[in-house]
Amino acid sequence: MKAAILEGIDAIRVGQVPDPVLEDEHCLILKVHACAVCGSDIRIWHHGNSRVRPPQIIGHEIAGEVVAVGQAVTRFRVGDRLATGADVPCGECIWCRDGLGNNCAINYAIGYQFPGGFAEYVHLNALTLRTGAVHHIPDSLTYSQATLAEPLGCCLNGAEMSNIRPGATVVVIGAGPAGCMLMQLARSMGALKVIAVQRSRGRLKAAREIGGADIVICTLDGDPVQAVLAATDGQGADVIITATSAIESHRLAFQIARNRATINLFG
């Protein structure tokens, strides 16, 4: 099959590798129809990761079709449309036993220790099917749409941790895919006013049309602190979520927070 193989820092090669095969009766093979590129994939490409040993196939925001299943697999069958997340908890460490698989001491993941989705096919092993995020795709979603299931799960977790209450004013800094999803989630959780703060003018339209922001502030057009204060009667926001890793965005979050605000450095 054809795959994008990470061979080292800043080194990805598209080439032929052997097709995956069922390693036992508890696994399956997924034909990849779409695999989104996560920010962590970019970081692995440029900086490496201690859990990724080249040569490796990265990519974990996967959607595809089951083409082979082991005899012991009962939850999935050939033809099923599936989406995956990255994390594969070990199921045995103290964190996993406490139901906190996202804090797994070993921290297995698709596209890290296990080959990922930048390929025509991906092998999902027994542990991945038992403890990982592998779910059926509704017929109403395309494969490309379903690749957003994993980042949407991250955003939902972030939104739930952000103490968004009905009537709240929520500022999301960064209007990329995650930022726009966070805006939508804030609205669905009862936010009365959603404000997007974004540096790139190219994403202002997305903040309004996809994120549904009531107010869009471009940091290139003036002082974003004054703009947020003007939009909140001088009080600042109830909730601020940074959907970017830029240090200046984290600093801005503290400058626009009202008394007793919640700040989530999501990015």
69 conformational bin, left if phi > 0, alpha if psi -120 to 50, beta if neither? beta
User: How many domains does the structure of the chain reveal?
Assistant: 2
DSSP summary character for residue 62: E
- Looking at the structure, tell me whether residues 14 and 141 fall in a common domain: yes
The pLDDT tens digits for 124-148 are 999 999 999 999 999 999 999 999 9
The pLDDT tens digits for 159-178 are 999 999 999 999 999 999 99
Q: State the average pLDDT for the chain.
A: 96
**Which pLDDT does position 236 carry in this prediction?**
97
Nearest to 81 by CA among 158, 142, 37, 172: 142
**Is the pLDDT score of 58 beyond 90?**
yes
- Looking at the structure, tell me whether residues 105 and 220 fall in a common domain: no
- Positive or negative torsion for Cα 147, 151, 157, 163: negative
- Looking at the structure, tell me whether residues 7 and 138 fall in a common domain: yes
Q: How confident is the model at residue 201 (pLDDT cuts 50, 70, 90)?
A: confident
- Looking at the structure, tell me whether residues 74 and 158 fall in a common domain: no
Report how far apart the first and last C-alpha atoms of the chain are (Å, whole number). 35
Q: How confident is the model at residue 202 (pLDDT cuts 50, 70, 90)?
A: confident
**Is the pLDDT score of 267 beyond 90?**
no
**Which pLDDT does position 200 carry in this prediction?**
87
Q: Which domain holds residue 207?
A: 154-264
Instruction: Find the CATH number of the domain harbouring 30.
Output: 3.90.180.10
In one-letter notation, the amino acid at residue 94 is I
The pLDDT tens digits for 216-252 are 999 999 999 999 999 999 999 999 999 998 999 999 9
**Which pLDDT does position 32 carry in this prediction?**
99
Enter the pTM of the model: 0.88
- Looking at the structure, tell me whether residues 141 and 43 fall in a common domain: yes
